[in-house]
Amino acid sequence: MGIRIAGLAAVLAAFPLMLSPQASNAAVSALAGVGSWTYQLQGIDLHVLAASNYDLVVIDYSRNGTAAQTFSATEIANLRTKPDGSRRIVLSYLSIGEAEDYRFYWQDDWAQDRPTWLFAANPEWEGNYDVRFWDPDWQAIIFGEPTSYLDQIMAAGFDGVYLDRVDAFERPDPQLKRAQRESEMVNFVTALAIYARAKDPDFIIMPQNGEELLATPSYRRTIDGLAKEDLLFGAEHDNQRNRLGTVRASLELLSRLTAEGKPVFVSEYLSASSDVAQAREDAATLGVLLFIGDRELDNAHSR
């Protein structure tokens, strides 16, 4: 194990992800100024988050994911101010690569009469379903009209979106080959960003995972930063140190983004104090912003 840790330390040192001095716009500059962040999707208490000193907060747009419990514009505006009066960035979680049966758009008759873009349930997350994310009908649910998902998030005053399941292109589909699926996800995120920034030029677009798309220059230009889960631990099994090759492959891609002045935010799901300490040390070597919590994302504070 000592040799393996030493080997990983060398890999981390070879790929420092500190930002280059350039920052292309206000959104990127704001993200580059973040020193701490937290990520919570369950059990959200805005009073607890508002009392914290985190520079960036990622939450759902609703207390429990449903339309009935969506946060108001006033609530989000209050959360955007830290206790010392300085500005906090607040991003809304938005899954674009899976459908969720507790969201406002879900229709009960889909269980018997599924749309052509809706597929099997995700066995790891109850209530989540695979989708053909490139289908126009699915994309219309996500953005484009006042009742669309993104539009409701923007109306609530969030600073941007934290796009989950961008890596849905990894799921095999007989309709499109892997390279085509990657291209379609780039197109999807780009169209979403263009639409949002027509309303708010500083609206933040931050995908989670799917770093393979960073090989596409236009994609790097579109996004303001990237969040990466399980960079150091948990890629194959929870609480297990990742293989050197797995870490190296991600770092090679992530370094393309940071070289252009755009930040990387890392989330690790750890409980053992030794693992937490190691993740902090590794994140410091890399120069990334680290969140450590439970995979259920049910706590307001990073470990």
Q: What is the pLDDT of residues 233-251, one digit of tens each?
A: 999 999 999 999 999 999 9
Residue 137 falls within a domain, yes or no? yes
The CA-atom distances, in angstroms, between 212 and each of 90, 168, 179, 203, 206 are: 26, 12, 11, 23, 15
Instruction: Provide the greatest CA pair distance for the chain.
Output: 55
User: 66: domain range?
Assistant: 2-293
**Does a structural domain hold residue 12?**
yes
pLDDT at residue 5 above 70?
Answer: no
298 lies in some domain = no
* CATH number, domain containing residue 18: 3.20.20.70
Pair 303, 233: CB distance under 8 Å: no
The confidence band for 6, taking pLDDT boundaries of 50, 70 and 90, is: low
pLDDT band at residue 1 under the 50/70/90 scheme: very low
Average pLDDT of the chain to the nearest whole number: 93
pLDDT at residue 111, as a whole number: 76
Compare 214 and 28 and report the one with higher pLDDT: 214
Q: Number of folded domains in the chain? A: 1
Q: Which two tokens stand for residue 66?
A: 């449903």
Closest CA to 96 of 132, 51, 66: 132
* Residue 31 within any structural domain of the chain: yes
Domain membership of residue 240 (yes or no) is yes
Contact of 160 with 88, CB cutoff 8 Å: no
Q: Is residue 168 part of a domain?
A: yes
CA dihedral 172, 177, 178, 184 (to 10 degrees): -100
The fraction of the chain above a pLDDT of 70, given in percent, is 95
User: Distance from first CA to last CA of the chain, Å, rounded?
Assistant: 24
Predicted TM-score (pTM) of the model is 0.94
pLDDT tens per residue, range 66-125: 999 999 999 999 999 999 999 999 999 999 999 999 999 999 999 789 999 999 889 988
Taking phi first (over 0 means left), then psi (-120 to 50 degrees means alpha), and beta for anything else, what does residue 190 get? alpha
Name the pLDDT band for 14 (thresholds 50, 70, 90): confident
